Amino acid sequence: MTTPGERPVGRGELTARELLRWTWRQVTSMRTALVLLLLIALAAIPGSVVPQTGVDALAVTRWKDEHPKLTPIYEKLDLFSVYDSIWFSAIYLLLVLSLVGCIVPRLFVYARASRAQPPPAPRNLSRLPDHTSYETTLTPDEVLARAREVLGKRYRLRPLVVEEAEQQPSRDPGDAVSAERGYLREAGNLLFHLSVLVVLAGFGIGGLYGYQGGVILVQGSTFGNNLTQYDDFDPGGLFTPQQLDEFDFTVEDFDVEWLTSGAGAGTARGFEAALSYQQGDGPRDEYDLRVNHPLSIGDTDVFLIGHGYAPIITIRDGEGEVAWTGPTVFLPQDQSFVSFGVVKAPTAKPEQIGLEGLFYPTFELYDGDPVSVFPDALKPLVSMLVYTGDLGLDSGESQSVYVLDKSKATQLTDDDGKPVRLDLSVGETIDLPDGLGSVTLERVDPWIRVQISQTPGKEVALLGVILALIGLCASLFIRPRRVWVRARTVAADDGGDTMATTVVEVAGLDRSGNGDLAEVLTDLVAVLKNEKESHP
């Protein structure tokens, strides 16, 4: 029946309520959850292949410089920030909704199953795969009382009032004992499914209230924990600056232990940055920062995630004034730590001076090509090209310190028209042509890259993982089984005399398929016959 003005529903059509109900069932089905899990795994692949701004902003900058044609496409698809993108968030939220819809109803099912009473004994116990029987002179009541005493030590028994209340044609209430064990298996299932929601909640709290940022620090420099000090910063949706702990730390020293022989020669065996830090107005402490051994200050963790070299280069202009001096971070390009860097002197006169080139930790010529034969700075050399003129520093637009704008600059060349290349060892000075100044390599200092983060939901997520392991172990190792003991009196003819004996039937059902139920029944029969002591 339809209301006036409402279009009648045709055969096979769904009403709006039915359509919503059907949609909800499809979204919360286990099949949909598995498909979404596969989708989120596939969607995470770009996040592990393409550099992410929240993980390594320097790698993102380098990638954009090397792939100028692909960069606009990747930016539109949010491939540099996959886990914050709309499409990844949509899959993640849909997965959460599907899992909640799948898990919550099952929680009630498992909760009811963990409190359920053992089912009554089937009428024909001999049809069960594992069963046995014997005769005794004890009365049925004595046998059943003995069975309740023995099974009650390790099994949950079906109450007598329940047995007597259920008068079903297929059952024989009152003449059997029903017992079941392994209910903690259902509790394990309940705990495992609940832990999934706890883990999701932990990740959600961390994603909303946490943050992570990165900064490169040259040996001897100091970092203060405020937003202006970070090179890159990725906050959660509900992050506030008030969450930042008040502290600072200084990189006093950095040491790398290199392997010098064997198959692993040239690889680092250990990294250690000696820090001095202070929280608020507290005393200044020291800490040796190593990989996987973060420094914890309040709610903040400081991780060591990278290192490299920062040559200290001094540029003097044509008037003999120092136009630039200080450490310049060079970014490693390969395992030999050949690094790329840019030096800019915007105040140089009469023209701005820019340098662009490579740093070789242990410089050698191999077939006429410059290479670094070892990643340690044993024989450092900087090889750079020189540009003068407008470097784009006065345009007012932001410019990466790792990129030199050469669109309006002029490359210096010698009398033969070849580019001027400065090959500088430590302590060496080279004069620029035409009286434009000089460049000196003072020394080489190491730099480290640290990640500073707060993850407020990590304890919740850890709790969820622990609960999941406990629930999984309970589901795998607890053996649920049911056992029934039936005793009834039968008449037997003994030489013309009729005498009564008790036939005892014992049967079991193993719900985990472990295959040891026959031995359990044998031991139970022996106990019921008083042939051995019970072992609960």
Q: Which pLDDT belongs to residue 414?
A: 85
Helix (H, G, I), strand (E, B) or coil at 247: strand
Task: State yes or no: pLDDT of 500 exceeds 80.
Answer: no
pLDDT surpassing 80 at residue 536: no
CATH architecture of 122-181+479-528: 2-Layer Sandwich (3.30)
The pLDDT, as a whole number, for residue 322 is: 94
What is residue 529's predicted lDDT score, i.e. its pLDDT? 84
> 209 with 238: CB under 8 angstroms?
yes
Structure tokens at 144: 């059943």
Please name the residues in contact with 458: beta carbons below 8 A apart, sequence gap of 6 or more.
202, 206
Q: What is the mean pLDDT of residues 429-445?
A: 92
- pLDDT for 435 equals 87
**What pLDDT, on a 0 to 100 scale, did the predictor assign at position 9?**
54
What does residue 375 show for φ and ψ, rounded to 5 degrees? -75, -15
pLDDT cut 70: percent of the chain above it:
91
Which one is predicted more confidently, 301 or 61?
Answer: 301
Task: Extract the runs of DSSP E, i.e. beta strands, from 495-524.
Answer: 497-510
**Residues with Cβ < 8 Å from 180, sequence gap 6 or more?**
118, 119, 155, 156, 480, 481, 482, 483
Per the document, the length of the chain is 536
* Residue 531 DSSP symbol: S
Q: Of 57-61, 116-120, 407-411, 529-533, where does mean pLDDT reach its minimum?
A: 529-533
Whether the predicted pLDDT of 137 surpasses 90? no
Note the pLDDT tens digit of each residue in 219-245. 999 999 999 999 888 888 889 999 999
> Measuring CA to CA, which residue among 66, 54, 159 is closest to residue 117?
159
Put simply, whether the predicted model's pTM sits higher than 0.95 gets the answer no
The model's confidence at residue 167, banded by pLDDT at 50, 70 and 90, is: very low
Are 196 and 189 in contact by the 8 Å Cβ rule? The answer is no
Q: Are 321 and 349 in contact (CB under 8 A)?
A: yes
pLDDT tens by residue, 332-377: 988 899 999 999 999 999 899 999 999 999 999 888 789 999 999 9
pLDDT above 90 as % of the chain: 37
